Structure 1
Amino acid sequence: MSIKEAVTSRGPKPETIAGHIRAAIIEHRLAPGAKLGEGQLCEVFGTKRGTVRQALALLAADRLVDLEPNRGAFVASPSLQDVHEVFEMRRIIELAVVERISSLRTRRLGAIREKIGREQKAFEGRNFPLWVRLSGEFHTELGRLTGNSVLCNCLDELVARSTLISALYESFGRSSCSYEEHEVILEAIEAGNTEVAVSLMSHHLQSVERKMLDRPSQGAADLREVFRNVE
């Protein structure tokens, strides 16, 4: 839904604003530590401070935004301990996901293969924001094949936090989440080779964690520029 479509006489809903900010974080258009000024957000989304504050509270609940008394809201800046804890949880959940869907021999993998193709095209076309988003969606879409909504909600949050971590510890245009590895994992799942698929996913997630670089990004951001192409 576009901003214009979501706007009523009272402005867009908090969930709509939160969704646009979340997308900007996931696509690395907003760096960790970036200040989310209420005034600019009100101007960008054509709404009141109360609505913006509700949106920021939603993002804070997902640990994507830090709310600091007397200072305002900032895109969260994960620590190295956060890196280890997030990826520990991802391994626990995603290895179980791969084991389950591989043993089921599900036929609903075509959309995920198509997504990997889009991921490769985004990389080759140097569309890095889209590439980053699609890399994360490979993992969340596998989770959806389990049909477990609670698991999906947990995985969505973990992948979003992983993307935030990569924005902090990796340079722009570089992602440790490889579409080539995604292809190999999917092939093992399609073949019903559960043991190999689980091993490949474990190695993939460990590799992603190791490649995080201890090099913080700059936190300055012009919110008008970040959201200028949002319709």
Structure 2
Amino acid sequence: MADTSTVSSAGKRPEALAERIRAAILEHRLAPGAKLTEAQLCEVFGVKRGPVRQALALLATDRLVDLEPNRGAFVASPSLQEVHEVFEMRRIIELAVVERICAGHGTRRLKGIAGMIGRERKAFETHDFSTWIRLSGEFHTALAALTGNAVLCECLNGLVARSTLISALYESIGRSPCSCEDHEAILAALDAGHAQDAATLMARHLQSVELKMLDRPARGAVDLSEVFSK
């Protein structure tokens, strides 16, 4: 028989609390700008303020939560300027990735990317949206890894992490899986060695993702008890 007291104790650690809040954000149960009231979180999770504050600090490090002096914690609301800057840099780097792959860097390893797209589509179809969002970002970092350029990969990994969080915050759950279709088209162009077509498709895909971030929800109150009862 499992030691329920140990499980309960582990579930109240800051890391575990942060993971529960993270899941609620990625699954769109908590909207951008939602206030994360410490007292409510303490009541919901059955813990004191210390673990809650540590959990919020962890999420702030990951840019999922904004900590505002004298106001409290809020689900992050990245600015439009940040969105534009992130995607501007992604276009620069990812078009270079496409060029290098078509020049022969990693073309023989594209089959593994196809499997990743298949898992991405399955996650969408089974409504596993947090996995879907994660895999949609990993498609891009996996392509970069094929170039063998460690510095390029490090730069893109950071940008994709930031834009994946923005995507999780602002894309509407239930939209058509256009990312899967875009990824399949990009992969087909790469596999055929059509550098210009692949670059055009990649640029169009990144622009489409960026434009989805323009619908900005307003800050508002949220019933945290209801959010975490699901």
Q: Distance in 1 between matches of 2:119 and 2:15?
A: 27
Residue identity opposite 1:97 in structure 2 = V
Two-structure CA RMSD over aligned residues (Å) = 3.5
Shift in Å, 1:96: 3.3
- In structure 1, the partner of 2:95 is 95
- Greater mean deviation of Cα atoms: 62-71 or 106-115: 106-115
What's the % identity of the aligned pairs?
65
Which of 151, 158, 161 is the equivalent residue of 2:165? 161
Residue identity opposite 2:30 in structure 1 = L
- In structure 1, the partner of 2:66 is 66
- In structure 1, the partner of 2:198 is 197
Q: What CA deviation, in whole Å up to 9, does each residue of 1:93-125 have, x standing for no partner?
A: 333333444431254444432332233344445
- In structure 2, the partner of 1:209 is 210
Q: List aligned pairs for 1:128-143, cutoff 5 A.
A: 128=129, 130-143=131-144
**8 Å CA contact retained: 1:26, 1:163:** no
Shift in Å, 1:154: 0.6
Q: List aligned pairs for 1:48-63, cutoff 5 A.
A: 48-63=48-63
- Greater mean deviation of Cα atoms: 129-138 or 69-78: 129-138
Q: Distance in 2 between matches of 1:223 and 1:6?
A: 25
Say how many residue pairs are matched: 223
5+ residue gaps, structure 1: none
SS of structure 1 residue aligned to 2:35: coil
Q: What's the TM-score once normalised by structure 1's chain length?
A: 0.74
Q: Distance in 1 between matches of 2:44 and 2:143?
A: 34
Q: Distance in 2 between matches of 1:104 and 1:45?
A: 49
- Greater mean deviation of Cα atoms: 107-116 or 177-186: 107-116
Q: Distance in 2 between matches of 1:189 and 1:121?
A: 22
Q: CA 1:191–1:7 in 2, change beyond 3 Å: closer, same or farther? A: farther
Q: CA 1:6–1:18 in 2, change beyond 3 Å: closer, same or farther? A: farther
Shift in Å, 1:156: 4.0
**8 Å CA contact retained: 1:36, 1:72:** yes
- In structure 2, the partner of 1:85 is 85
Tell which structure's C-alpha radius of gyration is larger: 2
Task: Tell me if 1:76 matches 2:80.
Answer: no
Q: What CA deviation, in whole Å up to 9, does each residue of 1:160-210 have, x standing for no partner?
A: 33314524xxx4423685211110111223334444323321121012223
5+ residue gaps, structure 2: none
Q: Distance in 2 between matches of 1:95 and 1:144?
A: 14
Q: Distance in 2 between matches of 1:90 and 1:5?
A: 46
Q: Which has the higher helix share?
A: 2
Q: What's the TM-score once normalised by structure 2's chain length?
A: 0.74
